[in-house]
Amino acid sequence: MSTANVRTRFAPSPTGFLHVGGARTALFNWLYARHYGGIFVLRIEDTDLERSTEESVTAILEGLEWLGLTWDEGPGCGGDYGPYFQSERLDIYKYYVQRLLDEDKAYLCYCTPEELKARREEALAQGRDPKYDRRCAQLTDAERKALEAEGRQPVVRFRSNDVGTTEVNDLIRGQIIFENGMLDDFVIQKSDGMPTYNFAVVIDDHLMKITHVIRGDDHISNTPRQIQVYQALDFPVPEFAHLPMILGNDKTRLSKRHGATSVTEYRDQGFLPKAMVNYLALLGWSYSATDTLFTPEELIEKFSLDRVSRNPAVFDMKKLEWMNGVYLRELDPEELTGLVIPRLQKEGLLPESIDAAARERVKKIAVSLQSRIRTLAEFVPSSRYFFEDDIEYDPAAVDKILARDYVPDMFAMLLDKLMQVEPFTEDNIEQVFLEVQEEVGRKLGDVIQPVRVAVTGTRVSPGMYEVLAALGRPRTLQRLKAAAEMAKAKLAGKD
Ligand code: GLU
């Protein structure tokens, strides 16, 4: 297998968002091209005019850009073998259809969809092979004229070779042998003049000098058809590599039922592109049983098709979340701050424009929560109490932790000291807590836990001194006062 001048491509049909499976295919093509210093082409297969949309093209490009899967030729950047939208290449397909017609390797077929359906059903009912019966394969000129006179619009069918076998030496699956008898004379140009996928893909992969066709294994059955087209046109056949299917945790094909399937949804949920790329790379590829964390650069260096499995890969959300947590912890404070600010603004927890001091404060909060969140989206609920005055209290925490008889007096003591401590820093706050602990003669946890409930409303948060310092003195005091009242009222109620 030659790896000189590697050219791979991702060829999505723009009929929806960028699916996790599509992103994995794009990633493997990108990695393969980058590993060998080759070219990664992006081609938009938009010949299905009814289902292709502009929004979908935008969503796909956005998804790829977000993942950092830069293409060397394609939409936006052009290249020597464009255009890269199939809808702009119709003349090219027509030219090759005509060539096959001229060489009698294809023929016009006038059968209508209704006739084909009726004949298929009849064949099935009689236990015969339902494939196209080649009724139009040998029409005379006169017969053709007569059919056209009836107003029929012909399709063009490829004259498949139906004897012998077609072999594929798949770089992942090894040798696959297809019985040509299974192939029918498939349509290469529809009655509206549009090419079909199995035809256009061959023309484009050839003209775009694609050396390796790496795609999902749902295309395996298309491969012998495509190889026959290559052969009919005397085009060299590229290498093929079919990637294993991606399953959900219940071992059925990954779909909406299993959660988010679009790459942009993962972006919106606060996954980091590096984590996503790392995780997608492991859907079918592995380097060793123990190594799982790879930067894009490491993936490029280590990637090879012989480490791609033939077995289906299982999409494991828990593992992706874990991995995202790892990458979140690696972010430097500035970067993390830049990522959480828009999320807080979107929730109305921060104003549209913030000054340097407010940014510093967000940074402190972000860093204190950095090791506790798995996605950026989790940051908003876990940090709400820093930004809102009316916090929500977990009723169980209030009953069990706040409503203890020593709490109101202890809070009074804390309020008194916290009001005076200067400056209001983590170290000084810690000092206050130690003093109060001493005075009330309890464990430190007995001081901290009620304060935690008082200021966060919950039983879990980052370190208490860190939280209070980030919350600032006025809010801390105000929450302790309110909680002391709440505790008193609860205790009075209990009597
Ligand atoms: N447009 C096809 C798809 O999205 C491309 C398949 C291929 O890579 O050949 O499935």
Q: How far is the CA of 420 from the centre of ligand 1 (A)?
A: 69
Q: How far is the CA of 143 from the centre of ligand 1 (A)?
A: 37
State the pLDDT confidence band at 317, using cuts at 50, 70 and 90.
very high
Contact 252, 48 (CB under 8 A): no
Q: How far is the CA of 164 from the centre of ligand 1 (A)?
A: 27
To test the pocket of ligand 1, the residue of 201, 221, 237 to mutate (highest count of ligand atoms within 8 Å of its CB) is 201
Distance CA 140, CA 436 (A): 103
**Ligand 1 atom showing the smallest separation from residue 215 Cα:** 8
**Ligand 1 atom showing the smallest separation from residue 45 Cα:** 1
pLDDT, mean over the chain: 95
Q: What is the mean pLDDT of residues 79-101?
A: 98
Q: How far is the CA of 8 from the centre of ligand 1 (A)?
A: 13
Q: Indicate if the pLDDT at residue 260 is higher than 80.
A: no
Distance CA 73, CA 71 (A): 6
**Ligand 1 atom showing the smallest separation from residue 9 Cα:** 8
Q: Indicate if the pLDDT at residue 277 is higher than 80.
A: yes
**Residue 256 annotated to the active site:** yes
- List pLDDT tens digits, range 205-236: 999 999 999 999 999 999 999 999 999 999 99
CB contact set of 465 (below 8 Å; sequence gap of 6+): 426, 427, 429, 430, 433
Q: Indicate if the pLDDT at residue 2 is higher than 90.
A: no
- List pLDDT tens digits, range 473-492: 999 999 999 999 999 998 98
To test the pocket of ligand 1, the residue of 8, 9, 13, 205 to mutate (highest count of ligand atoms within 8 Å of its CB) is 13
State the pLDDT confidence band at 262, using cuts at 50, 70 and 90.
very high
**Ligand 1 atom showing the smallest separation from residue 205 Cα:** 9
Contact 33, 5 (CB under 8 A): no
Q: How far is the CA of 189 from the centre of ligand 1 (A)?
A: 17
**Ligand 1 atom showing the smallest separation from residue 218 Cα:** 10
Q: How far is the CA of 13 from the centre of ligand 1 (A)?
A: 7
Q: What is the mean pLDDT of residues 450-465?
A: 95
Kindly state the percentage of the chain with pLDDT values over 90.
94
Distance CA 172, CA 292 (A): 21
Q: What angle do helix axes 464-471 and 376-387 make, rounded to 10 degrees?
A: 70
Q: How many CB atoms lie within 10 A of CB 112?
A: 14
DSSP state of 239: E
As a dihedral over the C-alpha atoms of residue 291, residue 295, residue 296, residue 297, rounded to 10 degrees, the angle is -100
Q: Indicate if the pLDDT at residue 452 is higher than 90.
A: yes
CB contact set of 216 (below 8 Å; sequence gap of 6+): 21, 25, 242, 243, 245
Q: How far is the CA of 281 from the centre of ligand 1 (A)?
A: 19
pLDDT at position 1, please?
A: 64
To test the pocket of ligand 1, the residue of 45, 48, 85, 229 to mutate (highest count of ligand atoms within 8 Å of its CB) is 45
Entry pTM: 0.91
Smallest CA separation from ligand 1 atom 3, residue = 12
Smallest CA separation from ligand 1 atom 5, residue = 11
To test the pocket of ligand 1, the residue of 8, 20, 41, 215 to mutate (highest count of ligand atoms within 8 Å of its CB) is 215
Q: Tokens 């039983």 belong to which residue? A: 459
Kindly state the percentage of the chain with pLDDT values over 70.
99
- List pLDDT tens digits, range 150-171: 999 999 999 999 999 999 999 9
Which helix (H) or strand (E) is 9 found in, with range? strand 7-10
Catalytic residue among 251, 256, 318, 494: 256
One-letter amino acid at 128 equals: R
**Ligand 1 atom showing the smallest separation from residue 216 Cα:** 8
- List pLDDT tens digits, range 26-59: 999 999 999 999 999 999 999 998 999 999 999 9
Q: How far is the CA of 216 from the centre of ligand 1 (A)?
A: 8
In 3-state terms, what secondary structure has residue 122?
helix
Residues at CB less than 6 angstroms from ligand 1: 11-13, 45, 201, 215, 219
